Amino acid sequence: MVGNPDFLTGKGQDQGPELQELETPEGELYLRFFVTAGEEFALPATGIRRIIEQPPDRITAVPNVSPLLLGTLNEQGRVIWVADLGQFLGYPTQLNTDRAEIPVIAVEDQGTMLGLAVNQIVGTDWMDVEELQLSQSTPDTAAPFLKGEWVTDKDSDSLLRLLDHVAVLRSARWAA
């Protein structure tokens, strides 16, 4: 079938006039997620190692570490530290761990991996980095970890904030 020239050109008896051209995505691919119910963030797909959804009891608490860390989990033989991203960014409410699974985004840079526990993963989206604006209404505790924001809905002033995963990984806050 693939060797059939009609297959490669899209011509043939099965094709009607309603055939649409595939759109080429513009921009770069980002993972969108909510840290709290109303705060949406994005990470570049290139910095994400994997997405893990684990029951809270699979995250092993570790004593005498930063309160920002929920613990560790074993993912395919590798130990990954898991952090409450909302707490790290300075939001007052802790992540709700009283649920069946917690979404964890594992980010990596130069061999260092960290799991960022979030409230909800939305999915991926192609975003144009040219439309990225400087963050204006960002809390001071989160500002050092943001690259900017997109206005996703002008009517409701809905924002999508771009997180700098390298700045998060290299932060001195983990030593606290």
pLDDT at 23: 61
DSSP 45-58: GGGEEEEEEE-GGG
pLDDT at 58 over 90: yes
Domain positions in the chain are 26-175
User: Which pLDDT tens digit goes with each residue over 33-48?
Assistant: 999 888 899 999 998 9
Closest to 170 measured CA to CA, from 117, 110, 119, 118: 110
pTM attached to this predicted model: 0.81
User: Which pLDDT tens digit goes with each residue over 107-124?
Assistant: 998 888 999 999 999 999
Domain spanning 26-175: CATH 2.40.50.180: yes
